[in-house]
Amino acid sequence: MTKNKLKHLIDAAAGRRKADLVIKNCQIVNVLNDEIYSGEVAIADEKNYQHGRD
């Protein structure tokens, strides 16, 4: 990852720039504890940088 791409990703995660794609009303699977919950996923520069529960 280049320095410029990392800066864009950090800016998106901090809310200083918009995500390229936001998927809402999805099921998110936590494979570490077998938990499934509803939420949304934000993607910027082809990286998943943020997800949250509804």
| Number of domains the chain is built from | 1
Which tokens sit at 12? Answer: 């998106």
Specify whether the CB–CB gap between 18 and 12 falls below 8 A.
yes
Over the stretch 1-54, which tens digit does the pLDDT of each residue have?
789 888 888 888 888 988 888 889 999 898 999 999 898 888 887 766 666 665
Q: What is the pLDDT of residue 35?
A: 92
Q: Which domain holds residue 8?
A: 3-53
pTM for this predicted structure: 0.64
Strands of the sheet containing 35-44, edge to edge, are 21-30, 35-44, 47-53
Which tokens sit at 5? Answer: 């791409």
